[in-house]
């Protein structure tokens, strides 16, 4: 009988630690986007990264920081429910920036320690 009680208590403790480790979890379907060749005269280009909450609590994107002033992010401000998606739209301005480029965008949230980094790249003609 004592063994059964011990086993039950061990199972309950391990189950409790699994639930305590839950929470939001951020994933992005693609980590980079290549615009290919773009014409400076055509103006700004944008790409939207889809962010998913693979966790079991609401995901909140707290801030998004671009590596350069030529790149501006816009993102879902409301909490993203478990299993649902949000967006991070990244816009690049090619004005006076001829040649190849690669820019990073850091996504900060309650779903990961540190940032989740996505990259855009291309070649301005």
The predicted-structure confidence for 108-121, as pLDDT tens digits, reads as follows 999 989 999 999 99
Mean pLDDT across 59-83: 97
Better-predicted residue by pLDDT, 83 or 9: 83
Q: How far apart are CA 100 and CA 125, in angstroms?
A: 9
């Amino acid at each position: 009988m004592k063994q059964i009680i011990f086993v039950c208590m061990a199972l309950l403790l391990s189950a409790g630690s699994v639930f305590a480790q839950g929470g939001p979890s951020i994933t992005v379907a693609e980590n980079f986007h290549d615009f290919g060749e773009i014409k400076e005269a055509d103006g700004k280009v944008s790409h939207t990264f889809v962010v998913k909450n693979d966790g079991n609590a609401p995901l909140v994107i707290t801030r998004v920081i671009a590596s350069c002033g030529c790149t501006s992010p816009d993102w879902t401000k409301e909490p993203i429910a478990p299993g649902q998606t949000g967006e991070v739209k990244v816009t690049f301005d090619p004005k006076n920036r001829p040649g190849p480029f690669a820019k990073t965008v850091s996504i900060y949230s309650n779903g990961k320690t540190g940032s989740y980094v996505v990259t855009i790249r291309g070649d301005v003609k």
